[in-house]
Structure 1
Amino acid sequence: MSSRTSRTTAVALAVVLGLGAAPAAVADTAPAAGPTVYGLDSKGYSDVTGINNSGVVVGYAYPQSWEVQSTAMRWDTANITTTAGTSIPGTALAPLPGDRFDEAMGVNEAGTVIGISWPSPTDCGCSAQQKHAVRWAADGKPTALAPLPGDAYGRPVAVNAGGTAVGYTLSDAGQEHAVAWQPDGTPVALKPLPGDVRSVPSAVNSSGMAVGYSQGAAFDSPKHAIVWGPDGTATALDPAGDYVVSTASRINDAGTVLGQASPDGEASRGVVWDADGNPRELGVGRWGTALNAAGVVVGGEPDPVHSGGHAVRFDPDGTSTPLGGPLADYESSVAVAVNSAGAAVGYSFYGGPSRGNQAALSWTPGGAVTNLRPGDFAAASLVNDAGLVAGVLISHNEIHFALHSAAVWKP
C-alpha cells in the first residue's frame, strides 16, 4: 500500500522555493492522549518503509549506524500478543543468492515485498547505486527482478495490489531508466518523453498506471512530470509546457495525480492533476506529500510564525484546512501520509526537519492533533486504513545524536 519516499527533502525544497503570500498563523494545539505504542524488534537501528491494510509492516535494520550492512525486515502486527511498550518480533528477509545485505522498500495487500539486495561493498567495490532489484513472495522467498537490456542494476520503488512493481534500472554510468516489472517478473520499459533520456517513477496504482518524471541526460536538467499507461505509453502531464520544472509523486486508483511544479524554476507549488490531465494548483509555496483514494492531499504550507510551515489538508473541492500543531516548543509541522478515511500522520520539528528533532503526530479527518509520544522524540511516516501508524522512536545518547528504532502505534 505504501512505500518510502524522500519526504524531508521534499518539505525543505518546497519551503525554500515557496514565494507566495503566507496564510494566517496556526495556533499551537494541545495534544490529546495517543494510541498504544509497540517497538518493532530488530538487531539495532531500524526504520519502516511500507505498510498494508492487514498490518504487515516492512523496512530494514542495521547494526550501529552502518546502513550498508542492513537487513530487510517484515513485521506482522495484526495479532499483537506482546505487552504495550515492548517489541513485536520481526522476520528477516533473505537477500538474493550471492548477496549479503538487503532492504525492503514497500509491501502490497497480498504481502508481496519489494526491495534491493547487494553484496558487501568490500567484496565488489559497489557504489550506492549498484544494487539488485528483488521481490519477496508472501512466504519470504526472494526473486530477482531483471534490469532492462543494457542495464546492470535496479531499484523498485512501489508495488501495486496485483504485484506489478515499478522502479528504475541503471547502467554502469548511473543513468536511470524507468521500468515496470509485471507479476511474472517481465520488465517493461517506461520510456521518457521525447527529447529526454532519463526516467524515474515514484508510484503505481492498481490499474498499472505509473507516475514520475523524465529529464535530459544531465543530472541537473529540468524534470518533466509524466504518467505511464499499463502498456508503458508515456504521456506528459504538462503538454503545454506551462511549467519549467514538474514532477509527479503519487497516483490513486481514480487516476488523480499529485506532484510539484514551477513555472519559472523558483516559485514551486503543489499540483493535482485529475484523471483527464487537468491541473489544479495548491498554491505557491504549498506542497503535497500524500494522496488518498478520495483525492484528499496532505502536506504543508508556509506561515509567518512557524519557520518550516505547518501541516495542511487539501480537499478535492479546492478548500484547504490547516491541521493542528506544531506542538509547543516546535517550530514547524508537516503531514506525510493519509489513509482512506482522511486520518493523517506526520511530525513537528524544530531547526531543519532532521529526525533528531521531531515529535510524531497524528490528525483526525477533522484536523485534531495527537502527540504520539509525549515528552520524547519520534516520527510517524505511514498509516493504514485501520489507523495503524508506523514510524520510528528516537533517542539521543553521547555517541549517536538520533538513534532510531521502528515502531507502530495501534489504535
Structure 2
Amino acid sequence: MLSSLKKPLTVGTLLAAAALGLPGVATAATVGPVDLGTLPGDAFSTVNAINADGTMVGESLPQDVRMRFHPVKWDSQGRIGALPTLGGEQGRPVAVNDHGVAVGWAQDAQGETRAVRWAPDGTVTALPWTGSSDAAVISRTGVVAGGGSTPQSTYVALRWAPDGSVTQLASLPGGGQAVVTGITADGSLISGEAWDAAGNQHAVRWSATGAVTDLSPANQGNPGATAAAINDFGVIAGTVTEAGQHVPVAWKRDGRQVRLDWPAPPASATPRAINRAGVVVGSGEAEFAQSRAVRWSASGVTVLQGARRSEAVAINDSGTAVGNVESVAARWAADGTETILGALPGGDYSWATGIARDGTIIGRSDLPYGWHAVYWPAS
C-alpha cells in the first residue's frame, strides 16, 4: 500500500503504482459540505480562513463581469454577516486569529486599497502605511504582517504591532521586493520571500525588529527558493531549485536547511503547510506523472494518494490533512485514511482549502452557475 512507503522513494515506484491504479490509502465514505451562501443579491462566495472557535472570513461576490469583493464573516453555525470597508465598495479578509480579529484589505472612499483589521464586533481599522497596502497574516497575539507599495512602486513586506505601529521589514542587499507567507503564533518570526539585486527569489525570515535572514543564500536559480509556511516554533517549509526542479526542504529555527525526502531530479515536490509537530504536506510529481498528495514527517515521506491527481494543502495539529483528489475535496486522517468530501447538490467539484484545530474544514464547491463557500463540520 502506497501510504506505507517510507524513504527511499523512487520515481519508478511512484509511476508503477500510478499505472496500476493502486489506491494510496483506505477510503472512507463520501460526505457532503454545508453551503455557506452569499450576501443578499450576490451569487458567489469564498471562505479564506477559520479560527479555533469556528469563525470564518471571506468574501461574497455579485454575478457580473467585474470581480467585486464584499467582505464577510460567518459564525460557527455558518451564519453570514457583512463586514464594513473604509468607505469604498470592496474588501477582503484573508486571515482570522483565535480572538476573532480578522485582517486583509479594504477600499477607502477614494478607491485606494488599505491594509485593515476587523475587530470581533466587526469594527474596521486602517493599518498605517503611505500608499496601497494589504495584510496577509495575523498571530494569536495580534501582530499583523503583509505588504505595501513604496513611492517607487516597489512592493515591500510590513509588520504591524498590536498597537498598529508599522515596521518595514528589511529587504535583501541590493534588492527591494518582498512578500509575507506566514507568522508564528507569538508573532516573533515571519516567513516570506524576497528578491535580490539580480532578481533571484530567496526564502527569508524576519525577526520582530524587521531584520531579515536569507535562508537560501546559495540558491540563485529561477524561480529560486520559496518559503511556503511557518509553524509556531519557527520551522519553515519550502523549496529550493536544483536542476530546474523544486526540491522540498525545511529550515529549522536556527536556519539550518534540511532536505525533505523525495526522488532526485527530474522529480519536483512542493510543500504547502506545516503543523506544530513539523509535519509537512503538499504535492509531488514524478517524471511523466501528475501531482500526488504527500506528507513528510520525522519517519519519512508518505504518498497520501498514489493513483490519482491530487494535492494536500493544509494540516492541523492533530495531523489531519486536507486537499483535493481529481478536483474534489479530500481529507486524510493521521493514519492516512482518505475521505472524499463531495460537492454541493448540482455540483461536480469542490476544493478544501483549510482545516481548523477541531477538524472543521473550509473550502468551496461549484454550482451550475458558479461557486459557493462551504464547510465540512468536524466529525
TM-score band, normalised by the shorter chain? Answer: 0.7 to 0.9
Is 2:74 the partner of 1:89? no
The alpha-carbon deviation at position 238 of structure 1 amounts to 2.1
Change in 2 beyond 3 A, CA 1:303/1:254: same
| Pairing partner for 1:33 from 29, 35, 43 | 29
Aligned with 2:348 (options 363, 368, 376): 376
Question: Which residue pairs with 1:297 in the alignment?
Answer: 280
For the pair 1:337 / 2:321, whether they are aligned, the reply is no
Distance in 1 (CA, whole Å) between partners of 2:104 and 2:298 is 33
1:320-364 deviation per Cα after TM superposition (whole angstroms, max 9, x unaligned): 1111365xxxx5000000000110111123xxxxxxxx1111111
Query: After the TM superposition, which residues 159-238 of structure 1 pair with which residues of structure 2 at under 5 Å, given as runs?
Result: 159-171=138-150, 174-208=153-187, 209-216=189-196, 221-238=199-216
Q: Structure 1 pair 22/66, CA: closer, same or farther in 2 (3 Å)?
A: farther
1:389–1:408 CA contact under 8 A, matched in 2? yes
Partner residue in 2 for 1:286: 269
CA gap 1:22/1:296 in 2 versus in 1, 3 angstroms: farther
Deviation at 1:171, TM superposition (A): 2.9
Match of 1:311 among 293, 303, 322: 293
Which segment drifts farther, 188-197 or 54-63? 188-197
2: distance between equivalents of 1:138 and 1:38? 23
- Distance in 1 separating the partners of 2:232 and 2:146: 18
Q: Deviations over 1:174-213 (max 9, x none)?
A: 3111000111111111111212111211111023200111
How much does 1:257 deviate?
Answer: 0.6
* Structure 2 counterpart of 1:379, one-letter code: W
Partner residue in 1 for 2:99 = 110
Are residues 308 and 233 of structure 1, via their aligned partners in 2, closer, same or farther at CA, if it must alter by over 3 Å?
Answer: same
Shift of 1:242: 4.4
Secondary structure of the corresponding residue to residue 207 of structure 1: coil
Task: Find the aligned partners of 1:393 and 1:101 in 2 and give their Cα distance.
Answer: 23
Q: TM-score, normalised by structure 1?
A: 0.80
The amino acid of 1:406's aligned partner reads: A
Structure 1 contact 325–369 (Cα < 8 Å) conserved: no
TM, length-normalised to structure 2: 0.86
**Residues 110-149 of structure 1: matches in 2 within 5 Å?**
110-118=99-107, 131-147=113-129
Cα distance between partner residues in 1 of 2:373 and 2:45: 5
C-alpha contact (below 8 Å) 2:349/2:366 kept by paired residues: yes
Alpha-carbon distance between aligned partners in 2 of 1:94 and 1:325, rounded to the nearest angstrom: 45
Shift of 1:100: 1.8
Query: CA separation of 1:64/1:343 partners in 2, compared to 1, >3 Å: closer, same or farther?
Result: same
Secondary structure of the equivalent of 2:71? strand
Q: 1:275 is matched with which residue?
A: 253
- In structure 2, the gaps of 5 or more residues are 1-9
Q: Which residue of 2 aligns with 1:12?
A: none
When residues 54 and 22 of structure 1 are mapped into structure 2, their CA distance, relative to the original with a 3 A threshold, is farther
8 Å CA contact retained: 2:174, 2:197:
no
**Residue type of the partner of 1:95?**
T
Q: 1:325–1:348: 8 Å Cα contact kept in structure 2?
A: no
How far apart in 2 are the matches of 1:67 and 1:380?
Answer: 25
Cα distance in 2 for partners of 1:376, 1:388 equals 21
Q: CA 1:42 to 1:196, structure 2 compared with 1: closer, same or farther past 3 Å? A: same
**RMSD of aligned C-alpha atoms?**
2.2
Structure 2 SS opposite 1:69: coil
